[in-house]
Chains A and B, each alone.
Chain A
Amino acid sequence: MSQTEIDARRLLCPLPVIRTQDAAAGLQPGDILQVRCTDPGVLHDIPAWCRVHGHEVSLVDRREEEIIITIRIGESA
């Protein structure tokens, strides 16, 4: 199981979703992907993207200007 972190700060949706999608494409089921973002739109869009692709959002850590979303890659990856 691997852990990958990507930086999607200062990008506006849907670009953080696209970066998440591109990173997830190279991962295996059970791998962890952490996405660092600043656009509050990701709070809706990344979980929605995860639901349609069968991934699980395991943690949303919202700090002052930064949002870190932790995703566990699903079986259908």
Chain B
Amino acid sequence: MTEPRKAVALISGGLDSLLAARVVMDQGVHVEGINFYTGFCVEGHTHAIRKQDRAKPKRNNALWVAEQLGIKLHIIDIIEEYKDVVINPKHGYGSNLNPCLDCKIFMVHKALEWIAANGFDFIITGEVIGQRPKSQRKDTMPVVSRESGAEDLLVRPLCAKILPATLPEREGWLDRERLHDFSGRSRKPQIALARHYGFEDYAQPAGGCCFLTDRQYSVKLADLWETRGSREYDLDDIMLLKVGRHLRPRPNFKLIVGREEGENRFMEGYRKRFVHLVPVSHTGPLVLLDGDLEEGDLELAARLAARFSQGREAPHVTLEATGLDGETRLLDVIPMPASEIPPDWYI
């Protein structure tokens, strides 16, 4: 008996990649999953930060998909390599700082490297023609195949019948007639197929699985790049953009104000890296100050921080300010009235 052909499926945790893998497994192919962690993923850690999200059942959707399919899932850290995709996308950004087409090309290329290293035969994605305006169009499908280097080793089982036959189809590893012809933005064919396979409780994130598709997040990232004078970031930078209110009262610094207990706890881990403020006369959030402070900035930041404490209506609020050297001092300030905070200070 011959060994079954082997495919790796890009598993995002959403319905389409779940179905694409299942359709190929139906044809006797051995499938394993691969999931790439860019640092911008909405998955996982995001839910760990905010206390209000802790009441919701928390799961890693890609792992959940792998369990539903009964396949192995390999989660790959691509944080460093992915920076070039975000900073220099050849095909440009979508409506925010989302480099969706470059991202897909990059991930398929990484999957191609993976199958070469692990003795697999081809790659599966859950792409559907017309599903996404930037990256999943009839004219971008060959771009992904070509520029990733995967060429006809890349199979899109959900829309394969309306695309040219790939190598696995031509070689008879896959029966083209048992693949699908989905297209457009409708989710009805996928939902019907999910019902056919008995999948329930699958994830359907409205905004996708990446923070870069989020307008507010992209504004904060653009602000970070602009004020630093360089389009660079590290993991801590992009994590901190996910938490707190961000206010920039001066070009040289911004405040990151914890919005609730979960965020405050998360930000505690960053205290040693930032000058920070904590109200001591009243209950209030931890505030990190990101930037090089000039004369008068600390007092301004303290008045703003007091505004977000329980003492916002009090005549004075006392805060403890801690410098990068660990030295602390007390500041007694008048909380800044909301009317004195220009809207454009909020990033």
Contacts and interface: CB of A to CB of B under 8 A. Distances in A.
A56 interface: no
B72 A14 contact: no
Nearest to A17: B75
B48 A53 contact: no
A49 B336 CA distance: 49
Given A21-B75, A52-B72, A14 B67 contact: no
Contacts, number: 66
B273 to A, nearest CB: 12
Contacts of B48: 12-13, 39-41
A12 B75 contact: no
Chain B binding site: helix, strand, loop or mixed by DSSP? mixed
Contacts of B44: 12-14, 41, 45
A48 interface: yes
Nearest to A49: B63
Chain A binding site: helix, strand, loop or mixed by DSSP? helix
Contacts of A62: none
Interface string A14-43: 110110010000000000000000011100
B231 interface: no
Interface string B50-78: 00001000111001101100111111110
A4 to B, nearest CB: 19
A44 B43 CA distance: 13
Given A39-B45, A45-B44, A51-B67, A14 B60 contact: yes
A48 B47 contact: no
A14 B63 CA distance: 10
Interface string B83-101: 0000000000000000000
Contact of A44 (B37, B59, B71, B239): B59
Nearest to A39: B48
Contacts of A21: 74-75
A21 B66 CA distance: 15
A29 to B, nearest CB: 15
Given A12-B239, A14-B37, A41-B58, A49 B73 contact: yes
Nearest to B270: A10
Contacts of A14: 35, 37, 41, 43-45, 60, 75
B334 interface: no
B269 interface: yes
A17 B61 CA distance: 13
Nearest to A13: B44
A45 B13 CA distance: 13
B49 interface: yes
Interface in B27-41: 35, 37, 41
Interface of A: 10, 12-15, 17-18, 21, 39-41, 44-45, 48-49, 51-53
Given A45-B44, A53-B72, 17 more contacts: A10-B269, A12-B239, A13-B48, A14-B35, A14-B43, A17-B60, A17-B63, A18-B37, A21-B75, A39-B48, A40-B48, A41-B48, A48-B60, A48-B63, A49-B63, A49-B75, A52-B71
9 contacts: A13-B60, A14-B37, A17-B75, A18-B77, A41-B44, A45-B59, A49-B73, A49-B75, A52-B70
10 closest residue pairs by CB, A with B: A12-B45, A13-B44, A48-B63, A41-B48, A52-B66, A14-B44, A45-B60, A18-B77, A13-B45, A39-B48
